[in-house]
Amino acid sequence: MAEIDAVIHQPVRLKIMAALKGLPLNEQIEFVRLRKLVDATEGNLGAHIQTLEQAGYIAVEKDFADNKPRTRVKLTKQGRRAFEDYVAHLRDIIRDTP
Amino acid sequence: METPVISPEQAADALKQAAAAEKRSARAYRYQRFAPYLFLWGVIWVIGYGASDLIPRWSGWIWLGLILGALAFSILVGRGAEPSRPKSNWRIALSFTTIWAFIASTYAVMAPVSAMQQGAFPPLVVAFFYILLGLLWTGPRLIIAGVAVGVLTLGGFFYLPQHFLLWEGFVGGGALILAGIWFRRV
């Protein structure tokens, strides 16, 4: 049995990945909206986003909109695959339980 | 990072959390996509019904201009939101055209006898469309918006007939604008 993905297997990061998976392919979400969706504090979300970005699971884009700094996040192809594998692994654990 | 060992109960709990987060995100996205259209039609109702009450002689032309403008705006909004999916813009444009074609065909067949009946029918069709769309796809907020539009329209029609068009413009249109603001929130 494959090992569980420790990057995703953390409550806030799992919610981030699932929330991004809920969007259409290549769709970005603003940091502020994501924070409300996963119900995390700004600092907490920032730290987890960094971990996921370092793993190559999400892509972060920073720019300016209406003269205000804006951070947008999206799931990468690698991240989508990793999340699907993670979910499949969880299902295997449940199914394989006698 | 250490590889965690998890029990079937923990796996089930993680799956449940993931499914809930994914569903919430998908629903919030659909609401966000719908918000500009609610806002747009709210503004159109304020102008259109306001004009129908205040300058009825010109209301036909004003409505025609508003509907064509709305159609163009809807395509532009769709293009801006999803440049990679041009088909969805045409779907939105065709949906609006279908609704207005249905309303025009019904007028042709049923021939409303008063401006009030003529004014009440489109909001009722829109309410029906919102409720159906909410039930089948978008989620409960659209059902609430549809019920609000329907109830406000019927309330104005039966209890405020002398000011119905103004009522529909400012209360019905205002409700749509408020719904548009609500839909943008997570």
B128-159 pLDDT tens trace? 999 999 999 888 999 999 999 999 999 999 99
Give percent above pLDDT 70 in chain A: 97
Interchain contact A26–B (C-beta under 8 A): yes
pLDDT in tens, A18-66: 999 999 999 999 999 999 999 999 999 999 999 999 999 999 999 998 8
Report the chain B residue with the minimal C-alpha distance to residue A89. B11
Residue that wins the pLDDT comparison between A18 and A1 = A18
By the 8 A CB rule, do B77 and B36 touch? yes
Q: What's the mean per-residue pLDDT of chain A?
A: 93
What are the boundaries of each domain within chain B? 33-184
pLDDT for B83 equals 54
- Of A3, A38, A90, nearest to B11 by CB-CB distance is A90
Residue length, chain A?
A: 98
- Of B8, B20, B24, nearest to A94 by CB-CB distance is B8
The dihedral sign for the CA sequence B134, B32, A53, A24: positive
Question: A19: closest CA among A33, A9, A4?
Answer: A33
Q: Smallest CA–CA separation between A81 and chain B, in Å?
A: 15
Q: Classify A83 as helix, strand or coil.
A: helix
Distance (Å, whole) CA B95 – CA B133: 12
What are the boundaries of each domain within chain A? 11-95
**Residue A2 phi, psi dihedral angles, 5° rounding:** -65, 155
Question: A30: closest CA among A65, A80, A57, A67?
Answer: A65
Q: Smallest CA–CA separation between B141 and chain A, in Å?
A: 16
pLDDT for B115 equals 87
Q: Do A22 and B24 touch (CB under 8 A)?
A: yes
Interchain contact A73–B (C-beta under 8 A): no
The upper half-sphere exposure of residue B2, i.e. CA atoms within 13 Å in the direction of its Cβ, equals: 3
Distance (Å, whole) CA B171 – CA B156: 9
By the 8 A CB rule, do A77 and A52 touch? no
Q: Which CATH class is domain A11-95?
A: mainly alpha
Q: Give pTM, 2 decimals.
A: 0.85
Q: Which residues contact B101 (CB under 8 A, 6 or more apart)?
A: none
Q: Smallest CA–CA separation between A65 and chain B, in Å?
A: 14
Name the E strands within A1-98: 29-30, 58-65, 68-75
pLDDT for B86 equals 57
Q: What token pair was written down for B137? A: 């796809």
Residue ranges for chain B with pLDDT beneath 50: none
Q: What is the ipTM of this complex?
A: 0.92
